[in-house]
Structure 1
Amino acid sequence: MKKTNVILEKSVAFALLIIEYCEILEMNRKYVIANQLLKSGTSIGAQIHEAQNAESRADFIHKLKIAAKELEETKYWITLCDRSNQYENPEKLKAPLNELGLILYKILSTSYKS
């Protein structure tokens, strides 16, 4: 029986939420933010998935650090949407993003110690 990789599952689930939210933004003609958020929000999972086939521990850490940077950029775009009256409420993105961040930062912290 194959063990579920929680961060992989959560990163895919979050990317799907981002895609859905960005489609709403695009319907409302908020193309610039939609494009930026789509790129950073889906890149988190792409980097996490890439890290699964890292060539070394250093490469693994490097890819996860890029994922962490993308996560922080995504938080920024979500904050802008949240604080603007012109954008759809991104409330359903906040908890999954924070949870993904907690897992990601814990893996990074553990990877440095090993």
Structure 2
Amino acid sequence: MKLVKLLREHKEYVFADQLLRSATSIGANVCDEAGAGQNKKDFIAKMAIASKEARETGYWLRLIEKGKIIRADMKPYLNEIEQIIKILTKIVKTSQQNL
């Protein structure tokens, strides 16, 4: 959220909006499934969506970094999203194996 705020302060609204959508979708899918999961297949589907959104978030973060859209250290954001991607990927793979 801090990065989105910083992007908006620099009038980088497209990047801010895209990043906000993909990043918040990760949590929304994980939270939704944690609270209202119907079955194992539904769980896997939601976690797969969250994983895809995490990858999209990584894409936007890399664009911001490579394009030097703002002056900010992107490494912490990139490291965090890579960890989230690894976790979600592992959850999906393990869940599929246990299905």
What is the TM-score of this pair, normalised by structure 1? 0.79
The amino acid that maps onto 1:113 is Q
The amino acid that maps onto 1:54 is G
1:31 aligns to what?
13
Task: Please report how far the alpha carbon of residue 87 of structure 1 lies from its aligned counterpart in structure 2 after TM superposition.
Answer: 2.2
Cα deviation 1:23-48 (Å, max 9, x = unaligned): 00000000011000011011111111
1:85 aligns to what?
68
Name the SS of the counterpart of 2:37 in structure 1: coil
Show structure 1 runs of 4+ deviating over 3 A: none
Structure 2 Cα separation of the partners of residues 88 and 60 of structure 1: 38
Name the SS of the counterpart of 2:2 in structure 1: helix
| Counterparts of residues 1-114 of structure 1 (less than 5 Å) | 19-52=1-34, 53-89=36-72, 90-114=74-98
Structure 1 Cα separation of the partners of residues 8 and 69 of structure 2: 13
Structure 1 Cα separation of the partners of residues 82 and 68 of structure 2: 23
> Where does structure 2 lack aligned partners over 5 or more consecutive residues?
none
Name the SS of the counterpart of 2:15 in structure 1: helix
The amino acid that maps onto 1:34 is A
Structure 1 Cα separation of the partners of residues 4 and 71 of structure 2: 10
Aligned length: 96
> Could you tell me the percent identity over the aligned residues?
33
Task: Please report how far the alpha carbon of residue 86 of structure 1 lies from its aligned counterpart in structure 2 after TM superposition.
Answer: 2.8
Structure 2 Cα separation of the partners of residues 85 and 46 of structure 1: 29
Structure 2 Cα separation of the partners of residues 40 and 88 of structure 1: 21
| Matched-pair contact (CA < 8 Å) for 2:62–2:78 | no
Task: Please report how far the alpha carbon of residue 98 of structure 1 lies from its aligned counterpart in structure 2 after TM superposition.
Answer: 0.9
